[in-house]
A and B are shown apart, each in its own frame.
Chain A
Amino acid sequence: AQSVTQLGSHVSVSEGALVLLRCNYSSSVPPYLFWYVQYPNQGLQLLLKYTSAATLVKGINGFEAEFKKSETSFHLTKPSAHMSDAAEYFCAVSLTSGTYKYIFGTGTRLKVLA
């Protein structure tokens, strides 16, 4: 069975500091992995996705994530946090059963301190 674990429901960083949001997955087959961002009272916006091509994936707004099979991880990073990055971030894995359904992590709320 596939699953996603996001460590840390809340993360606080100072403006300009490195952002690191953790995501570990469990899958018996090569997964498709996604990071989405949600601003208050809005839907989810795709940040980036891993679909078995390059292991280092660059997304929008300066975010990137690295797929590490040996660590079953897909952590999201950004070198320098902006105040506008404050939001909820969700990691998701796409089920490989052909249903195209996602399993979402529980989310990490990022707070950026001035």
Chain B
Amino acid sequence: GAVVSQHPSRVICKSGTSVKIECRSLDFQATTMFWYRQFPKKSLMLMATSNEGSKATYEQGVEKDKFLINHASLTLSTLTVTSAHPEDSSFYICSARDPTGADTQYFGPGTRLTVL
């Protein structure tokens, strides 16, 4: 149980285009999901908290107009990187909060974004 998937696993795009990354909880409903960014050999940086049916809460310094988050259902959250630039290249990881409690997050396998 508690499986979280991400799609795509890898994406390469041209500068100026937009990319959408999907995060799905496969066997549980997640009212809260999180989006992280991880730089090479670094820890995870929380970008935003995604709540089903409401606006995402962004961390300080994260551009909400650039990183659009939608949590339209209890099993799906999407992150859209708009007008991507090479500096947006990174490993993006989502997680879903276990609704049964204990604050456990289950993580997706990550998406490697490369912007040319």
A45 to B4, CA, bound (A): 11
Chain A residues, Cβ within 8 Å of B104:
34, 46, 49
User: In whole Å, how far is B78's beta carbon from the nearest beta carbon of chain A?
Assistant: 17
Chain A residues, Cβ within 8 Å of B108:
43
Instruction: Give which listed residue, A32, A46, A90, A102, contacts B46 with CB less than 8 A.
Output: A102
Give residues of chain A (81-95) contacting chain B, Cβ–Cβ below 8 Å.
90, 94
Tell whether, in the assembled complex, residue A41 and residue B103 are in contact, meaning their CB atoms are under 8 Å apart.
no
Give residues of chain B (89-103) contacting chain A, Cβ–Cβ below 8 Å.
91, 93, 95, 97, 102-103
Q: Does B75 contact A (CB under 8 A)?
A: no
Tell whether, in the assembled complex, residue A104 and residue B43 are in contact, meaning their CB atoms are under 8 Å apart.
yes
Give residues of chain B (53-112) contacting chain A, Cβ–Cβ below 8 Å.
57, 91, 93, 95, 97, 102-110, 112
Tell whether, in the assembled complex, residue A49 and residue B97 are in contact, meaning their CB atoms are under 8 Å apart.
no
User: In whole Å, how far is B29's beta carbon from the nearest beta carbon of chain A?
Assistant: 15
Q: Does A80 contact B (CB under 8 A)?
A: no
Known pairs A32-B102, A100-B103, A107-B43; A43 contacts B49 (CB<8 A) = no
Which of B95, B97, B104 has most chain A Cβ within 10 Å?
A: B104
The residues of B with any CB-CB pair to A shorter than 8 Å are 4, 6, 32, 34, 41-44, 46, 49, 57, 91, 93, 95, 97, 102-110, 112
